[in-house]
Amino acid sequence: MSLLEVINLHKTFRLKTKGKVSENHAVNQVSFSINQGEVFGLVGESGSGKTTIANILMQLESSDSGRILFEGKEIKQFPYGDVQIVFQDPRSSLDPRMNVRTIISEPTQRLDAKRRNELASEEHLVEIMQSVGLRPEHLDRKPHQFSGGQRQRIAIARALITKPKLVVLDEPTSALDISVQAQVINLLKNLQRDNGLTYLFISHNMGVVKYLCDRIGVLNKGVLVEVGTNAEIFSAPTHEYTQKLLASVPTMHGRL
Amino acid sequence: MIIRRTTTMLKKLTGHKFNLMAVVTLAIIFVVGAIGPFVMRFSPLDTNAEKRLLSPSWTHFFGTDELGRDIFTRIIYGTRISVGIALISILVAALIGTFIGAFSGFVGRWLDQLIMRCTDVLLAFPTLVLALALAAALGASMVNAAIAIAIVKIPIYMRLARNQALSISERLYVKSARTNGLKTFWIVRKHIVPNLITPIIVQVSLDIGDAILLIATLGFLGLGAQAPTPEWGAMISTGWNYLIDQWWYPTFTGAAIFITVMAFNILGDAVRDLFDPKVAQ
Amino acid sequence: MSQNIVSIKDLSLSFSIASGDVQILNHISLEINAGEIVGLVGESGSGKSVTALALSKLLPIDITRFTSGSIEVQGLDVLQSDESEIAKIRGNSIGFVFQEPMTALNPTMKIGNQLFHVIRRHSKVDKERARVRVQEILKEVMISNPEIVAEQYPFQLSGGMRQRVVIAMAMSANPALLIADEPTTALDVTVQAEILSLITKLARTHNTAVLLISHDLAVIASTCSRVAVLYAGEVVETGAVEVVLQNPAHPYTQALIRSLPDIASRDSQLETIPGEFPDLRTRPAGCIYAPRCSKRVSACDARPTLKSLESIVVIHQVACWESGK
């Protein structure tokens, strides 16, 4: 069952340099779909449009054209709480002036009273904290008292508080140390499995994508050049760019 | 936890002898302003034709003025006016300016441009000139002087808050709040303003001294508190006529202004250094 | 036997900060010879960037205390030399490439101009010759249109191009040592591959000793000949790259490699290292990694030093009581 369908998403940036207007198609007629319960990876380098797509989905930016279908219905805006995002940088994704309790219950603000009372209740907060590997007493602390990996867990807790159907993860482990990255990846994998979540996993780290993602879309300069299953993309990539991308990845066994 | 941080801050503030002197002076001024009037022997308003222009003595520490009023008492009472109005004006200016500026910086686009151009216009005038014009237009009174000063200072806070708000708006926790549908006013109030409060505090502490001087200047020109209210500037306004023969009249009042403004300025510098990341290291 | 360029012996240093003394590096030793690319790998807090900065005394003077050991760069005793002597070798004998090219380049100056000044600073050539040299080194870093690039400002170039320019600047005085601290971390994967092969090529043609610092094991694996693994300011394992990464002997190195998703099976969990990074204000008397180690024994209460493993062809040293048996 397709949870999210993106059809012909398009966004152009117009730049005026020296009188001439140049167009940059940041997202160029991109279409893909994500199935319920799967981990869909979106890979690409800088300028590929992956961050722009995430921003459009999260309503941080507008698109020029295109349709989005959520659970089969065309929508302009996701119902509050159904789609959440985890950002890359654990240092600036949490308000340094707030305590953890306020931070992770913030997404419940726009929900209706009944859901809000249930999801922002103390029991649910404690439950969420434990599910991301943190302790209830951490609720009263401030972000600066935590390490990078712990802060990312807090960001994940915040994303899960509304029991979302889709979680967008924008480079969630890129800013973490290797040993911490492994812990967070395990956590994300377990949470997905235990809660039946669907992930849109955006990353440039091929190793993590290969480990986590069921299907992968490859972006190059705004164009979705290839979409395939994990096996297809990594064992038998068909598009030239995908092949070049995979060939550039340094491996532990020396140059490919 | 809060107590520990306050004492650390106080220690840093009073580290240098200079700062310590300023803090002590300010503490004295505050105490004087608050309870002074309750322990004064004389009233600041009591005129006494027989006691005109007496030189300083044990009864009248700073002498008396041309209406026989005790100058020392008037200075003490005047503390409340000068320091009180200064604080209120600056705090009001900071409150209004910060929220408008933060809102402007977060919302951006044409509204931000409009608000900032208005700010530019106000900032183009020299502070004193603008304050004079406003006070004169509003009519000479204590309240109007306070309003004039607040209006003159608001643009500074608007600009300060707006510039900070520009970068804070790009932070991921603000983006996260936006993705959750939180309203603009909520985000400005809960996320933006609390995170730019530090430079605002520094600016406030630097501005108080300036405000005291502004009030005294307005008072000197007859645009502030009116007679017989014992406002320092107004006292000097009548007092300086008597400078040659009755030197005590304007001198002690002038000294009061000088000491108070200096103390606040030193405190302002100390607060700024306290929060400056480079100096703090 | 190629010439020894860098010789760090038993170096320890600490930072004095408000909350106390923090021992950042603890008795580390490292050698780099001409033409070698040596990798320094570790996570944040391991001390790898501090090591790079220590080589040319770029650490903040008022809080840094060197508590033991020595650093020699081309025979010059760095710790005993004063600032003016060290200033001479910076840029001349030691070239730097840092992670973020935008902070190494002056955004208000044209590329060619910046290179021109660097060249003139380090060698006594006349202006004409210096201009020619600018074109030469831009070509050497594989910039295909050097005349155009020389006239551009940093913001007009892509991240990869900027990093090439930074490398050109670092190599302009033909230094004996090139220190590259996370040179490709901020770059795209495809660009990263090009920059790494550029560094390899330059090291070979100029016989430059290279210290390549990274948290990315794969980057180290593909570029370096030798590697030292840093944990909490100590070298826990060192040796030829194939041996250390293929057959790691230290439990930390082993755990680090096993926690990478690159070769893990999709059905299994990734291995993680239990516990937390140690507080460097109170170093234990024993092995620094012991609290988190799965192979801990009683011997680990005493600090192990690097010892060589039985190896015929290549050098492999590890600081651990339990390995090599």
Please name each of the domains of chain A with its CATH number. 2-82+164-248 (3.40.50.300), 98-162 (no CATH)
- Minimal CA separation from A28 to chain B, in Å: 23
CA distance linking residue B158 with residue B166, whole number of Å: 12
Does residue B205 sit in helix, strand or coil? helix
- How many C-alpha atoms does B113 have within 13 Å on its Cβ side? 2
Contacts of C219 in chain A (CB under 8 A): 250
CA distance linking residue C12 with residue C250, whole number of Å: 21
- Among A5, A8, A118, smallest CA distance to A63 is for A8
- Minimal CA separation from A186 to chain C, in Å: 6
Rg (CA), chain B: 22
- Residue A57 burial (CB count, 10 A): 22
Chain C residue with CA closest to A245: the answer is C190
Strands C94-97 and C234-240 turn out to be unpaired
Strands C177-181 and A39-43 turn out to be unpaired
Tokens of B39: 């322990």
- Among C77, C43, C78, smallest CA distance to C59 is for C78
- Among C20, C22, C48, C35, smallest CA distance to C236 is for C48
CB contact under 8 A, A110 and B181: yes
Beta carbons within 8 Å of B185's beta carbon, 6+ residues apart = B103
- Residue A123 burial (CB count, 10 A): 8
- Tell me which long-range contacts A189-195 makes (C-beta under 8 A, separation of at least 24): A189/C269, A191/A131, A191/A132, A191/A156, A191/A160, A192/A39, A194/A131, A195/A160, A195/A163
CB contact under 8 A, C272 and A182: yes
- Residue with the two structure tokens 């201009």: C131
Report which of residues B148 and B42 the model is more confident about. Answer: B148
Q: What is the per-residue pLDDT across C220-246, written as a single tens digit (0 to 9) for each?
A: 998 999 999 999 999 999 999 988 888
* Burial of residue A240, with CB atoms counted within 10 A of its CB: 0-12 exposed, 13-18 middle, 19 or more buried: exposed
CB contact under 8 A, A97 and B195: yes
Share of chain A above pLDDT 90, in %: 70
Chain C interface, mutation test: which of A134, A177, A243, most C Cβ atoms within 10 Å?
A177
Beta carbons within 8 Å of C296's beta carbon, 6+ residues apart = C290, C322
Chain B interface, mutation test: which of A78, A89, A91, A92, most B Cβ atoms within 10 Å?
A92
Q: What is the per-residue pLDDT across C44-54, written as a single tens digit (0 to 9) for each?
A: 888 899 999 99
Bridge partners of A8?
none
- Minimal CA separation from C191 to chain A, in Å: 8
CB contact under 8 A, B179 and A92: no
Band of the pLDDT at C120, cuts 50, 70, 90? confident
* Burial of residue C185, with CB atoms counted within 10 A of its CB: 0-12 exposed, 13-18 middle, 19 or more buried: middle
A15 and A21 Cβ atoms separated by less than 8 Å: yes
Band of the pLDDT at B6, cuts 50, 70, 90? low
CA distance linking residue B193 with residue B65, whole number of Å: 48
Band of the pLDDT at B64, cuts 50, 70, 90? confident
Give me the torsion for CA of C287, C289, C292, C298, rounded to 10°.
-20
Bridge partners of C4?
C33
Chains that touch C (3 or more CB pairs under 8 A): A
Angle at the Cα of C187 (from C149 to B173), degrees rounded to 5?
120
Note if the bond before B228 is cis, omega within 30 degrees.
yes
* Residue in A93, A98, A109 nearest the CB of B180: A109
CA distance linking residue C184 with residue C201, whole number of Å: 16
Tokens of A186: 């395990």
**pLDDT on residue A29:** 94
Share of chain A above pLDDT 70, in %: 98
Q: What is the per-residue pLDDT across A130-160, written as a single tens digit (0 to 9) for each?
A: 999 999 999 999 999 998 899 999 999 999 9
- How many C-alpha atoms does A178 have within 13 Å on its Cβ side? 23
> Which range has the top average pLDDT, B63-77, B254-268, C271-285?
B254-268
Angle at the Cα of B200 (from B198 to B201), degrees rounded to 5?
70
ipTM: 0.87
Would you give the distance in Å from CA A208 to the centre of its chain? Answer: 13
Q: Where are the alpha helices (DSSP H) in chain C?
A: 48-55, 83-89, 101-104, 111-122, 127-140, 146-150, 159-171, 189-206, 217-223, 241-246, 251-258
Angle at the Cα of C37 (from C33 to C40), degrees rounded to 5?
105
Band of the pLDDT at A253, cuts 50, 70, 90? low
Question: Does the CA dihedral B132-B135-B141-B147 come out positive or negative?
Answer: negative
Bridge partners of A35?
A2
| pLDDT at position C325 over 50 | no
**pLDDT on residue C314:** 59
CB contact under 8 A, C217 and A186: no
| pLDDT at position C296 over 60 | yes
Q: What is the average per-residue pLDDT within A70-89?
A: 91
Contacts of A158 in chain B (CB under 8 A): 176
Tokens of A69: 């279908």
B77 and B45 Cβ atoms separated by less than 8 Å: no
* Burial of residue A25, with CB atoms counted within 10 A of its CB: 0-12 exposed, 13-18 middle, 19 or more buried: middle
**pLDDT on residue B31:** 84
C216 and C42 Cβ atoms separated by less than 8 Å: no
* Burial of residue C195, with CB atoms counted within 10 A of its CB: 0-12 exposed, 13-18 middle, 19 or more buried: buried
**pLDDT on residue C56:** 83
- Among C307, C263, C305, smallest CA distance to C288 is for C305
Report which of residues B41 and B198 the model is more confident about. Answer: B198
Q: What is the average per-residue pLDDT within C164-176?
A: 91
- Among C233, C224, C227, smallest CA distance to C46 is for C233
Band of the pLDDT at B281, cuts 50, 70, 90? very low
Band of the pLDDT at C89, cuts 50, 70, 90? confident
* Burial of residue B141, with CB atoms counted within 10 A of its CB: 0-12 exposed, 13-18 middle, 19 or more buried: middle
Which CATH number is B16-34+66-276's, of 3.90.1170.50, 3.30.420.40, 3.30.450.20, 1.10.3720.10? 1.10.3720.10
Q: What is the average per-residue pLDDT within C262-289?
A: 84
Contacts of A98 in chain B (CB under 8 A): 190
Q: What is the per-residue pLDDT across B113-127, written as a single tens digit (0 to 9) for each?
A: 999 999 999 999 998
| pLDDT at position A256 over 60 | no
**pLDDT on residue A255:** 39
What's phi and psi for A73, nearest 5 deg?
-105, 140
Q: What is the per-residue pLDDT across C134-151, written as a single tens digit (0 to 9) for each?
A: 999 999 998 888 999 999
What's phi and psi for A103, nearest 5 deg?
-60, -50
| pLDDT at position C165 over 70 | yes
Chains that touch A (3 or more CB pairs under 8 A): B, C
CA distance linking residue C289 with residue B277, whole number of Å: 34
CB contact under 8 A, C276 and A178: no
Contacts of A156 in chain B (CB under 8 A): none
Does residue C25 sit in helix, strand or coil? strand
Band of the pLDDT at A46, cuts 50, 70, 90? confident
> Which range has the top average pLDDT, A15-19, B18-22, B59-63, B143-147?
B143-147
Instruction: Say how many residues make up chain B.
Output: 281
**pLDDT on residue B162:** 96
Q: What is the average per-residue pLDDT within A50-56?
A: 92
What's phi and psi for A88, nearest 5 deg?
-75, -45
Question: Does the CA dihedral C76-C78-C80-C82 come out positive or negative?
Answer: positive
Contacts of A94 in chain B (CB under 8 A): 173
DSSP C217-255: HHHHHHH-SEEEEEETTEEEEEEEHHHHHHS--SHHHHH
Would you give the distance in Å from CA C288 to the centre of its chain? Answer: 22
Angle at the Cα of B189 (from B188 to B192), degrees rounded to 5?
50
Beta carbons within 8 Å of B149's beta carbon, 6+ residues apart = B85, B86, B89, B90, B93, B131, B211, B214, B215, B218
B233 and B222 Cβ atoms separated by less than 8 Å: no
CA distance linking residue A154 with residue A136, whole number of Å: 12
- How many C-alpha atoms does A195 have within 13 Å on its Cβ side? 23
Q: What is the average per-residue pLDDT within A206-221?
A: 94
Q: pTM here?
A: 0.85
Would you give the distance in Å from CA B43 to the centre of its chain? Answer: 26
**pLDDT on residue A36:** 93
Q: What is the per-residue pLDDT across B195-210, written as a single tens digit (0 to 9) for each?
A: 999 899 989 988 998 9
* Residue in A177, A211, A250 nearest the CB of C222: A250
Does residue C180 sit in helix, strand or coil? strand
CA distance linking residue A250 with residue C292, whole number of Å: 29
